[in-house]
Structure 1
Amino acid sequence: MSSISALESRITAALDRIRQGVEAQSMRDTDAELRAALAAERATNAELVARVRALKERQDTQVASLTERVEKQRAQLASYDAQMQTLRSSNAQMRDINAKLREAVTEGLAPELVNAAVAAELQALQDQRTAEAVEIDAILSELKPLVEEKTHAAG
């Protein structure tokens, strides 16, 4: 009987070792599956990070472009405003001199007033042309990118 007990213990020990081996193999298979899933998630995460970077770069480029356009338009607007102020000043001066000229005509003609009136009118016309040129430049600078986009899209 002792040999049966010894065989029984040996068989039980062998079965325990087999069970442990099967469990270890099962854990290795599970680890491999987990590692594969982890690798897939890391690859997906890297792809998402790359897409976010690309989106951020594109957004930064667009923001920089828009900021540049805004600054350019502000400068044009300031130039246009300065020209308009000069034009208003010239027109006010011309109206003042013309009023004096009308007074002088009613009282008696003064040649220096006529000369001043003509000079003021000439200055007002020059200022008006300059203001119109600034306005045309502002319009053209706005149209130029649109024309270039249309040319690039067609070509």
Structure 2
Amino acid sequence: MSDISELETRITTALERINAGLDKWADLPAGNADEVDALNRQLDEERTANAQLNERLSTLKDQMSEKLVVVENALSQLQAQLAQAEASADALRQTNQELRNSSDALRAAAATGVVEPALINEAMGDELSALRATQQADRAELDAVLSELTAMTAADATPVTEEEPHA
């Protein structure tokens, strides 16, 4: 029971303080009401500005998301081109090693004075393979350059709009 009376006393004290605060507001001169109105207008203006900034931020986030998708697509394309170029370079290295081995065998056979048609055929085949691998590497490089040029020209191409004549 004592808890209830203690709570009642605390509530009564709090209500008296609230009433005292309200009385102070009621006793304010009319000049403060104008100041409060001005502050409310400023608060509304700030809220409007804040809403506009939030809208602009949302728009910028959307634009950045779109640009991020474009960059990620370009990155994946460049990674694919790099993988293709690495595969071409590996094939070129392997073919050149085979060509060197064939040339060494042919040179050794020529040093002994024995002409072996199989070694000559193997060396010619390896040389043709090396030329094909070189051509593939060059083609991969040209494709990469072409795709970059295409992307650059597409980015620079802006639609031309006709202006309406002023009457």
TM > 0.5 fold call: yes
The 2-side partners of 1:118 and 1:154 are apart by 57
Q: Equivalent of 2:130, from 117, 121, 124? A: 124
Identity, in percent, stands at: 29
Q: Does 1:94 align with 2:99?
A: yes
Q: Does 1:113 align with 2:135?
A: no
Cα shift readout 1:8-50 (whole Å, capped 9, x = no counterpart): xxxxxxxxxxxxx996866765554444333222111100101
Question: Quick check: which has more Rg, 1 or 2?
Answer: 1
Structural mapping, 1:4-153, within 5 Å: 29=34, 31-107=36-112, 108-152=114-158
CA RMSD of superposed structures (Å): 2.4
| TM-score, L = length of structure 1 | 0.75
Letter in 1 for 2:158: H
Cα shift readout 1:91-124 (whole Å, capped 9, x = no counterpart): 1100110110111123211111111111111111
| TM-score, L = length of structure 2 | 0.70
Structure 2 runs not aligned, ≥5 long? 1-25, 162-167
Q: Between Structure 1 and Structure 2, which shows a larger proportion of helix residues?
A: 1
